[in-house]
Amino acid sequence: MPLWQGKSRGTPLGYRIFVATLKHLGLTPAYALLHLVAFYYLVFSFKSSRISYRFFRDRMHYSPGKAVTHVYKNYVRFGESIIDKIAVLSGIPTRLSFNFDDEYLLHEMISRGRGGLLLSAHIGNWEVAGNLLRRLKTKINIVLFDGEDEAIRKYITGVTGDWQVGVIVLKEDLSHIYAISEALRNNELICMHADRFLEGNKTISTDFLGSKARFPIGPFVLAQTFKVPVTFVFAMKQTKFHYYLYGSQLLDDYSKEKTKGMQLMVDKFAADMEEKVKLYPDQWYNFYNFWQA
């Protein structure tokens, strides 16, 4: 998988097994089942295991043995993130707890009356913070890439039900721009990932973990076009049952020329993202060569 293909890993049957375990037995047995799945992926999913191994060797500078151990841990954490997300969004009672000391930033964003962008990445598990975001007195809109496996998307939607948030799907005809514009005019928040793109899409490069990496230019164009406040949010798992949601200081200065402004914003996003990856390396979920030229 040299480049991201626009689809998540897993099968509908795999999701059903974990959801059934979660509903009837709870989090701990579901987590235990993950160790078998993680071992399977470690041995038989050679492409993603090789990419993850290179991440821990080349970017985190681990020894060969330590790198292999963390590839396994990475698969376990990835599975936990899916289980936790389904548990939270479907309302299944669990022992999961959350801290969001930076919540005041989002209240400040809303108080400015222009809506705002919440940019995140495929590290950690920001979706589990949805119940915290619901405390905000405005609508939350999640921007999704319309490339997920249809069977998986339908199954997850059926399990989780109504997320009580809006969903804006990225379309080739750019109709999503109008939906985003309307939401911002209504002082709503737009949540989207800013670390993946499909080959052929426009990108912007910056330093990330020792080398140049490409990021999708779309989120940063949106910020510069609509000139709304922006914050970077990451929900990281600190212990077995506890998450901490980080938020960056609001970016709301658009005095720079547009191209320069976008570059400054992506530089800050990559720096913030790098900080979180170094703190939580096992929660890096980009199973492809992120640094491919």
Q: What is the pLDDT of residues 113-136, one digit of tens each?
A: 999 999 999 999 987 876 667 778
d(CA 121, CA 116) in angstroms, rounded, equals: 17
Kindly tell me if the per-residue pLDDT of 88 is higher than 90: no
Cβ of 233: how many Cβ atoms within 10 Å? 22
Q: How confident is the model at residue 5 (pLDDT cuts 50, 70, 90)?
A: very low
Kindly tell me if the per-residue pLDDT of 182 is higher than 90: yes
Q: Can you read off the two tokens belonging to residue 157? A: 């939607």
Q: How confident is the model at residue 13 (pLDDT cuts 50, 70, 90)?
A: low
pLDDT of the residue at 7: 44
- How confident is the model over 237-272, as pLDDT tens digits? 999 999 999 999 999 999 999 999 999 999 999 999
Mean pLDDT taken over the chain = 85
pLDDT of the residue at 293: 62
Work out the average pLDDT over 66-92. 89
Q: Choose the weakest-confidence range: 31-40, 148-157, 175-184.
A: 148-157
